[in-house]
Structure 1
Amino acid sequence: MLPDTSNSALDVDAVSADRSSESRFADPTFLLSEQAGNAPDQLDLEQEQLKLAKAHDWFVESNLRGSHETSRTRPLEPQDDVVSWSGYGHAALDADALFMAEWRDQYGPTVANLESTPERVLDIGCGVYGQWILAAAQAPGWEATRFVGLDLAPVLVPTSMLPAEVRSRVVFVQHDFLRPLPFDDGQFDYIRTCGVTAGVPEPSWDPLIEELKRCLAPRGTHEIADTPSRPTLPPHLREEFDTILEKHLLNVNLRSVLPATLAMNGMHDVVHTRVRTIPKPWGMLDETNLAAGPEEARVKARVLMASLARYTASHAASLSRTITRASEPDSPQVSPLSGDTLARGPGLAAAAHLRDQSECESTIRSGTAEWNKLASISALMTQQWGWTCRVDAEMETQLNDHLRIAEERLLEATQAASAIEEGSPLPANAQMDQREELRVAQQKAEARRREVAAQLQAVRDRLETAGNVRSPEPDLDMSPSQEILPKLLILAGRSPDKLRQTQETVAKLAPGVETKPLILDLASLKKVRQAGEEVESWGIAIDVLINNAAVMSIPQRELSEDGYELQFASNHLGPFLFTNTILPSLKRATAPRIVSVSSWGHHQSPVNFDDINWEKSYDKFATYGQSKTANILFAIGLSSKRGVCAVSLHPGLIRTDLWRHLTREDQLPVGLINEDGSNGDRFPYKNLQEGAATHIVAAFEPTLQDHAGVYLDDCQIQPEVEAYAVDKENAERLWSVSEELIQKALAQ
C-alpha cells in the first residue's frame, strides 16, 4: 500500500456498506481449517512442510541488483507487470506490516463502526502472511469470530505456529477474487477488502461488488479500504506510471469508483471515511522540513520514508520494465530477454529498450537512495538531539590516512614499473619475472586504493546526510600562510549553523583573523540585495571577493524564488547582483580582485540567449554549462565595464557535495568513476588543498592585475576556453540580459 504523493498524510479511504436484501442462504455452514482444533503434537508437520514448500515454489524469485535480497512476484505474463509491481518481497511485506500496525493501533480491527463483533469474516486480499486476520483473531472481543482469508497468492503462515484457539477459527483460501468466489450465499456478516485497488480494473469493480454482496449476510457490513496505490517515483516517472494505470483502466481513487458501484448493486448506508494515519514525508525531502512538526510525526515520517524507499527500490527493475515497455510505440513488442525481434529491428530495438530500461531503473534507485539517506537514523538523531557520530568522524580521519598511504604505494609501484620499462641490467628472464611481480603489486595497490576510497565516500555520505560538517581532510596542511592572512574574513552562506561552524574552524587555524558571518541566499534576488546593502553599511574596503557558491546538474527543472532556472539564478544572477551591490566597498581597496569560480563544465553549453530560462526543453548538464559560461563572461564584463580586475577559474575535479545530483549512470559512461564506484582514471582528481590552490593564485597573484578577464586552470592562465565563453559581444549581451532579469524580479 502506497500513498498518493499529493497529500500530507497517508490517507486510508474506507467505504462501508450494509446489505439489506434477503439472502437465499438458509443453513449456514462455515469452512474450518483442516487441522482446526488439533493440538500442536497432533499436527502433521511433515505434510505442513510439503505444503509450505509448494507454496514457496508458486512465487517467481529473482536477484535484486546491488542487494543480497531477492524480488518475489507471482507468475506473470510480461504485459501484467503493471498490476503487480509491488510483489511479495521482504520490503513490500515490511511496508505493509508497518502501515497495518499503525492503522490497527489507532483504530482497532475496523474503521467501520460495527454494531457488534462479527461472527463470520471474509478478508479479500489477506496477503501472504494474513496480518490483519491473525491480529483481529486475537483482538479483545473477537475471540469467537471465525475468519476466512482469500488471496491470489498462497498464504505462507505455518499452521503449527498459530495458537490452538486461533487455528480453530482461521482458514486461508488461494483464489482469484475477480472470479466467482467459492462460498455460499450470505456466508459472512463482515467482509473486508483491503489493498487490492491496483489489481482491479475499473470495469471489474461492478462484478466484484456483486459477488461479494452475494456472500454477505443480511444486515452485514462490507468494508473496502486502501491507500492510493502508486509507487514512490520521481515526478516525471510518476506521470508515466499514471498514464500506464489509465491505459489498463486502473483507478486507484476509491472515491471516484465505488459510491456509484455500491449504489447500483443495492448496497445501502454507504459511509466514506478518510483516515489519516502516518504523516507522509513526500515533499519533505530535506532536513529542514523533516525537522518540522511534532516529534512523533517526524519520527514516523522518517520511518515511513525509509520503508517505502526500500519498498520502491526493491521493485525498481519491474517498475522500469513496465514504464519502458509502455513507452514503446504501438507496434509488435517483446521482452528484450526473449530474443524476439522488436519493431525497430532486432539489434537496435533491443539495445534501445535495455538502455531506456536501465536509465529508468537508475533514476528510481537514485531517488529512493536519496530518500533513504534523508530518513537515516543518524540524520534523525542529529536533528532531534544534536548527536554526532564520533565513530564515523574518527573513521573518516583514519580512512583519509589509509587513502594517502594507498596512493603513495600505488605511486611507488607505478614508478617502479616505469623504471623497469626504461631499462634494467638484469637478464631478460629476471626482467620478465620482475615485471610480473610489479604488475601484481600495482594491481593490488590500485585495488586497495579503490576499496579505501569507496569506504571513505560512504562515511562522508553518512556524515553529510546526518548534517555533520566534516573537518578538513587531515592529510592536508591547513596552516595558513602568514603572508596572506586577512584582517577580516567575511563568510557568506545560507545556513547560520554552517557559518558558525566555519567561524570556529577558522578561529582554530588562524586565531588572529576576525571573521564576520553574512547570510546570503543566492536563489533570492531580494535577499541578495539585502545582503549586499548590509555589507555596504559596514563602510569597509574589500580587497578580494570570491564568488564560489554553486549548484550543479539538478535532475528536474527547478525555479528560483524569482521564477528563473535555479542553476542560472544561483550560479550567475545572484553573484552578479551581489558583486555589483558591494562594488563601492571593493573600489575602496587599492587593488581589488574579483574571482568568479567557473568550471570545465562551461564546455557543455554557451549561454542560451534564445531560451535562457530553459522553458522549451531542459537538460541538467547544459543548464549547468550555461551558468559556468556565464561566470567566465561575467569576469570579462566586470573587467571592461567596472574597471576592476576580475578573473575566472576551474578549480579541478574535486568530490564535494556539489556532486550530490550526479548518479552512477551520469558518471560511469564519461569515466568519472570506475565500475566499482571508485574515482575514474580518465580525469585527474584533486583533494581540497589542490583545488583551493587555483583560488589562491587567482585572488593574490600580483601579475594577474595586468591580465583581467583571464580564465585559470591548474594555477595557470588557460588558453583552451570555448570561443563563446570569451566572446566580448556575448559578455556585453549577457550583462544587459542579467540587468533586465534582475530589475524585473526586484520590481515585483
Structure 2
Amino acid sequence: MTAWTTDLIPDQNGRVAVVTGANSGLGLVTATELARRGAHVVLAVRNTAAGEEAARGMAGSTEVRELDLASLASVRAFAAGLAADHPAVDLLVNNAGVVLLGPRRTSADGFELQLGTNLLGHFALTGLLLDALTAAGGARVVNLSSITHRGAHLDFDDLMFERGYRAATAYGRSKLATTVFGLELDRRLRAAGSPVISTLAHPGVTRTNLTPRAWEHRGRLGEVIARAGLLATQPVEQGALPQLRAATDPGLRGGEFFGPAGLGEIRGRVAEARLSREAADPEVGRRLWGAAERLTGVSYL
C-alpha cells in the first residue's frame, strides 16, 4: 500500500482552517502544511508572540488569535471573535494539549488541568463554533488522541482526579476523554443529519516540546530524562501525518481514526488506528458528553 504523505493533501484554497496549539510541534506542522496547500489558517494559540513568529515562517494566508483552552472565558471570547470574522469555518483541528508529570494543577475554572485543557476547552470550542462549521457545508473536526488512551479508564465519580492524583494517569484519562468526545461527536452529528464530520488521529510517540515541559519540575534530572526519551521518538513531521490525513483526506467518513502503523502504533506510515473498548462504548460517550455540558455550560447536538 502506498504511504500517505503531504503530497496527497488536496487543494485547500478558499477554506478556513483553525488549528489550536499551532505555534509549535504537531500543530505547527499541521498549520504549515494547510497554509502551504492554500487554506487560510487561524493559529489559535495561548502565546500570540510565539504564534506570530510561527506564522512568519509559513507560506500562505495566516492569522494569529489568542486562545487559552484552560480558560472558558478565553474560549468564549475566541469563538465569538472568530465567528464574527469568519461565519463559515471549514476545518477545526483540536490539536493543543498539555501533559504534566508533576503535582496536580487546575485550570482557571478549577478543572484538573489536563482534562480541562485537552477535553473541556476543546469541547466548548467545538460547540461554540458549530454554527460556523455547519455553514461551511462540508466541514470537519479533528480531535487528537494518544496511544495512552488504551490504558486509561474514566472515573465518573472523580473526573477531576481529586483523590490519589497521579499525573501520568490523569493524562491518559484526558486523552481517553478526548477520544470518547470525538466519537460521540460523530454519533451526534450523524443523528442530527449534520454535514460536519468528526475524525480522530494520534501521533504515536513523537518529538515535540511537550515531553521536556512535562519534566521541567525535576530540574537537571528531568532534562536528562526528557533528552533520553526523545531518542525513542519519531520526527514531528511524521507524527503530524495522521492528523493531516484526518483533516484533509476527501474520502473519509465520520468516526475514522488514524495513527502510525508500526509496532504498538508508536511510529510508521499512516494507517487506521485501534480504539480501546471503553473509548468506543456509546454509553461512555453519552455520560461524558453530559458531564462536559454541565462542566462547561456549553450544550449542543
One of 37, 42, 48 as aligned partner of 1:496: 48
One of 170, 173, 190 as aligned partner of 1:626: 173
- Structure-2-length-normalised TM-score: 0.77
- List per-residue Cα deviations over 1:613-663 (Å, max 9, x = no partner): 111110111110111011111111211223321111111212221112246
Structure 2 residue aligned with 1:739? 293
Deviation at 1:514, TM superposition (A): 2.0
SS of equivalent residue, structure 2 residue 258: strand
Task: Map 1:281-300 onto structure 2 (within 5 A).
Answer: none
The one of the two structures with greater contact order (alpha-carbon pairs below 8 A, sep at least 6) is 2
Structure 1, unaligned stretches of length 5 or more? Answer: 1-468
Aligned AA for 1:596? N
Structure 2 residue aligned with 1:577? 124
CA 483–657 in structure 1, closer or farther in 2 if over 3 Å, else same = closer
Deviation at 1:485, TM superposition (A): 2.1
CA 554–532 in structure 1, closer or farther in 2 if over 3 Å, else same = farther
Structure 1 residue aligned with 2:275? 721
CA 565–703 in structure 1, closer or farther in 2 if over 3 Å, else same = same
Deviation at 1:503, TM superposition (A): 1.6
One of 196, 203, 207 as aligned partner of 1:655: 207
Structure 1 residue aligned with 2:152? 605
C-alpha contact 1:631 1:648 (8 A) present in aligned 2: no
SS of equivalent residue, structure 1 residue 641: helix
SS of equivalent residue, structure 1 residue 702: coil
Provide the C-alpha distance between the structure 1 equivalents of 2:297 and 2:135, rounded to a whole number of angstroms.
26
- List per-residue Cα deviations over 1:225-254 (Å, max 9, x = no partner): xxxxxxxxxxxxxxxxxxxxxxxxxxxxxx
Structure 2 residue aligned with 1:693? 241
Aligned AA for 1:500? E
User: Equivalent pairs: percent with the same residue?
Assistant: 30
C-alpha contact 2:25 2:209 (8 A) present in aligned 1: no
Provide the C-alpha distance between the structure 2 equivalents of 1:565 and 1:648, rounded to a whole number of angstroms.
23
Structure 1 residue aligned with 2:57? 505
Structure 2, unaligned stretches of length 5 or more? Answer: 1-22, 261-269
Provide the C-alpha distance between the structure 1 equivalents of 2:147 and 2:224, rounded to a whole number of angstroms.
15
Provide the C-alpha distance between the structure 1 equivalents of 2:67 and 2:32, rounded to a whole number of angstroms.
27
Structure 2 residue aligned with 1:198? none
Provide the C-alpha distance between the structure 1 equivalents of 2:294 and 2:66, rounded to a whole number of angstroms.
25
Provide the C-alpha distance between the structure 2 equivalents of 1:733 and 1:470, rounded to a whole number of angstroms.
33
1:702 equivalent in alignment to 2:247: no
Task: Map 1:243-642 onto structure 2 (within 5 A).
Answer: 480=33, 484-486=37-39, 488-506=40-58, 510=59, 513-642=60-189
Deviation at 1:667, TM superposition (A): 9.7
Provide the C-alpha distance between the structure 2 equivalents of 1:698 and 1:740, rounded to a whole number of angstroms.
29
Provide the C-alpha distance between the structure 2 equivalents of 1:697 and 1:656, rounded to a whole number of angstroms.
19
Provide the C-alpha distance between the structure 1 equivalents of 2:294 and 2:32, rounded to a whole number of angstroms.
44
Deviation at 1:520, TM superposition (A): 0.3
Aligned residue pairs: how many? 254
CA 573–482 in structure 1, closer or farther in 2 if over 3 Å, else same = closer
Provide the C-alpha distance between the structure 2 equivalents of 1:734 and 1:470, rounded to a whole number of angstroms.
29
Deviation at 1:574, TM superposition (A): 0.3
Provide the C-alpha distance between the structure 2 equivalents of 1:584 and 1:564, rounded to a whole number of angstroms.
26
- List per-residue Cα deviations over 1:44-70 (Å, max 9, x = no partner): xxxxxxxxxxxxxxxxxxxxxxxxxxx
C-alpha contact 2:200 2:243 (8 A) present in aligned 1: no
- List per-residue Cα deviations over 1:8-63 (Å, max 9, x = no partner): xxxxxxxxxxxxxxxxxxxxxxxxxxxxxxxxxxxxxxxxxxxxxxxxxxxxxxxx
Deviation at 1:481, TM superposition (A): 8.1
C-alpha contact 1:606 1:725 (8 A) present in aligned 2: no
- List per-residue Cα deviations over 1:425-483 (Å, max 9, x = no partner): xxxxxxxxxxxxxxxxxxxxxxxxxxxxxxxxxxxxxxxxxxxx9999xxx9x995898
CA 717–470 in structure 1, closer or farther in 2 if over 3 Å, else same = closer
Structure 2 residue aligned with 1:419? none
- List per-residue Cα deviations over 1:135-194 (Å, max 9, x = no partner): xxxxxxxxxxxxxxxxxxxxxxxxxxxxxxxxxxxxxxxxxxxxxxxxxxxxxxxxxxxx
- List per-residue Cα deviations over 1:252-288 (Å, max 9, x = no partner): xxxxxxxxxxxxxxxxxxxxxxxxxxxxxxxxxxxxx
Provide the C-alpha distance between the structure 1 equivalents of 2:222 and 2:65, rounded to a whole number of angstroms.
37
C-alpha contact 1:493 1:520 (8 A) present in aligned 2: yes
SS of equivalent residue, structure 1 residue 713: strand
Provide the C-alpha distance between the structure 2 equivalents of 1:628 and 1:470, rounded to a whole number of angstroms.
19
Deviation at 1:494, TM superposition (A): 0.8
Deviation at 1:608, TM superposition (A): 1.8
Aligned AA for 2:282? K
CA 523–479 in structure 1, closer or farther in 2 if over 3 Å, else same = closer
Higher CA-based Rg: 1
CA 713–666 in structure 1, closer or farther in 2 if over 3 Å, else same = farther
CA 523–713 in structure 1, closer or farther in 2 if over 3 Å, else same = same
SS of equivalent residue, structure 1 residue 518: strand
Provide the C-alpha distance between the structure 1 equivalents of 2:119 and 2:71, rounded to a whole number of angstroms.
12
Aligned AA for 1:657? N
C-alpha contact 2:115 2:170 (8 A) present in aligned 1: yes
Q: What RMSD over aligned residues (CA atoms) do the two structures have, in Å?
A: 2.8
SS of equivalent residue, structure 1 residue 703: coil
Structure 2 residue aligned with 1:120? none
CA 591–667 in structure 1, closer or farther in 2 if over 3 Å, else same = farther
Deviation at 1:544, TM superposition (A): 1.0
- List per-residue Cα deviations over 1:642-692 (Å, max 9, x = no partner): 332111111121222111224668997xxx976xx7724xxxx21121112
Displacement over 4 Å in runs of 4+: 469-472, 478-483, 663-668
CA 710–470 in structure 1, closer or farther in 2 if over 3 Å, else same = closer
C-alpha contact 1:607 1:629 (8 A) present in aligned 2: yes
CA 556–657 in structure 1, closer or farther in 2 if over 3 Å, else same = same
C-alpha contact 1:635 1:709 (8 A) present in aligned 2: yes
Deviation at 1:492, TM superposition (A): 0.4
C-alpha contact 2:79 2:128 (8 A) present in aligned 1: yes
